[in-house]
């Protein structure tokens, strides 16, 4: 029998047993759709949480000065602390596990352009602030080390601040006034999705070099004039995170005479710990969804196996007739193999098409900030397709091999007796 005849005969057989064929295809397609959607949902949650975390900052620690809650060196508890610009260099030298140590100072000012004005938060830090705080540049540039060294009056606008001051007009090179002092606009931020902050959303700020804000807009009483609001610290990696935090606490404790174990004296918003906690949650959900997907795949495989076993058993008489008229064992096995492959590829293609189609449709809907959508991985679909396809082929070929080995008369007698 040539392959074309075998193929046509196989299609006729499948069409004759439409219900059985449909049940086999449904089991394979359902298993592929189920596991693909579950893994896609887990991946969408992982990516969404990661994006939310990175939109706020890239694994940093925000160190706030508080009040001492423990006595240290004979000094009473309850003493108010302040960080200073000079602390930064000392912490940077003693905290070898920290990649960045930066001061941050923010004060409100009346900001005026030729077109509008408003009371806006002015934030000053060092140039790496744009990297660690995920400030995306939409046009122009962020201030650099030359701007910082010379204390230049240059300003980088948040996207909402730019709209407020200039509308749709070009702001690059324009002059704005910060409490009457002229600053030149050198850049503007691209819009970003931010769901947390410690002093306001970045899109509503004006960013200037730290030396400029310390000179023009310093803290007012009761805060000392040279004080800063907080320190921004970034470790080299997750592995050096704990060492970095410990070194920062020890240095600040030495500089300001408090116990390094006093967490109220130096409170830290630790986004690294948050990222680790989110990663553990997402990994747990991913494993949970993966386990459910494997269970679904297993159940689908059992369903496919049962259908295929029944299908072969019902055709024992057919196998006997074929052998009686001269069909070889190889030809019989070949037909069952081709039938199974057709069912597997058709149902696998349909299952993957439905799964990826559903993912694409769902992704057209606006998603919550923490969910990036159904992110289907082609490896998952291919794996489930391969597993269910293998189950189907083995479930068909094993009984077919046994039936093809039976004497034709015995096969006919078995069917008649059944």
User: Closest Cα partner for 144 from 89, 92, 212, 96?
Assistant: 212
pTM: 0.65
Per-residue pLDDT band for 172 (boundaries 50, 70, 90) equals very high
User: Closest Cα partner for 290 from 53, 24, 46, 48?
Assistant: 46
> Where do the domains of the chain lie?
3-54+277-417, 61-271
Per-residue pLDDT band for 366 (boundaries 50, 70, 90) equals confident
Strands (DSSP E) found in 141-280: 154-157, 175-178, 181-189, 205-209, 227-228, 230-235, 266-270
What number is the average pLDDT over the span 24-30?
76
* 318 has pLDDT over 90: no
Q: What is the pLDDT of residues 249-301, one digit of tens each?
A: 999 999 998 988 898 999 998 887 777 777 777 777 777 766 776 776 676 66
Q: CA torsion angle for 137, 272, 240, 92 (degrees, to 10)?
A: 60
Q: Which of 89-103, 207-221, 225-239, 293-307 has the lowest mean pLDDT?
A: 293-307
Q: Tokens 């596991």 label which residue?
A: 35
Q: What is the pLDDT of residue 52?
A: 66
* 33 has pLDDT over 60: yes
Q: What is the pLDDT of residue 204?
A: 93
* 148 has pLDDT over 90: yes
What number is the average pLDDT over the span 108-126?
95
Q: How far is CA 412 from CA 53, 216, 225, 315, 320, in A?
A: 69, 101, 102, 10, 6
Q: Which of 72-76, 221-225, 346-350, 393-397 has the lowest mean pLDDT?
A: 72-76
């Amino acid at each position: 029998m040539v392959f074309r005849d075998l193929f046509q005969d196989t299609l006729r057989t499948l069409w004759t047993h439409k219900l059985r064929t449909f049940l086999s295809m449904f089991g394979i397609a359902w298993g592929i759709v189920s596991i693909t959607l579950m893994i896609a949902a887990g991946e969408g949650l992982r990516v969404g949480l990661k994006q939310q975390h990175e939109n706020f900052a890239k694994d940093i620690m925000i160190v706030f000065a508080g009040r001492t809650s423990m006595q240290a060196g004979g000094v009473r508890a309850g003493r108010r602390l302040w960080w200073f610009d000079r602390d930064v260099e000392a912490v940077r030298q003693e905290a070898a596990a920290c990649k960045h140590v930066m001061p941050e100072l923010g004060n409100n000012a009346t900001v005026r352009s030729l077109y509008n004005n408003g009371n806006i938060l002015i934030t000053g830090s060092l140039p790496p602030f744009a990297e660690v705080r995920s400030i995306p540049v939409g046009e122009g540039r962020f201030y650099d080390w030359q701007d910082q060294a010379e204390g230049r009056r240059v300003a980088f606008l948040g996207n909402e601040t730019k709209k407020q001051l200039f509308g749709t007009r070009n702001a690059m090179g324009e002059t704005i006034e910060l409490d009457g002092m002229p600053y030149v606009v050198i850049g503007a931020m691209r819009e970003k999705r931010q769901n947390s902050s410690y002093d306001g959303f970045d899109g509503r700020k004006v960013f200037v070099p730290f030396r400029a804000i310390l000179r023009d807009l310093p803290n007012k009483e009761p805060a000392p004039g040279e004080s800063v609001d907080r320190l921004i610290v970034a470790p080299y990696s997750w592995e050096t995170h704990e060492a970095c935090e410990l070194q920062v606490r020890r240095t600040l404790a030495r500089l300001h005479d408090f116990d390094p174990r006093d967490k109220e004296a130096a409170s830290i918003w630790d986004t690294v710990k948050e990222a680790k906690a989110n990663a553990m949650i997402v990994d747990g959900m991913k494993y949970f969804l993966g386990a459910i997907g494997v269970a679904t795949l297993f159940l689908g495989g059992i369903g496919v196996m049962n259908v295929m076993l029944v299908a072969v058993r019902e055709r024992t008489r057919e196998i006997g007739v074929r052998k009686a008229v001269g069909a070889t064992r190889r030809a019989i096995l070949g037909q069952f193999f081709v039938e199974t492959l057709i069912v597997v590829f058709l149902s696998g293609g349909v299952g993957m098409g439905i799964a990826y189609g559903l993912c694409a449709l769902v992704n057209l809907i606006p998603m919550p900030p923490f969910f990036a959508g159904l992110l289907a991985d082609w490896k998952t679909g291919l794996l489930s397709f391969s597993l269910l396809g293998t189950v189907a082929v083995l479930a068909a070929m094993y009984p077919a091999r046994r039936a093809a080995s039976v004497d034709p008369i015995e096969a006919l007698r078995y069917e008649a007796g059944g």
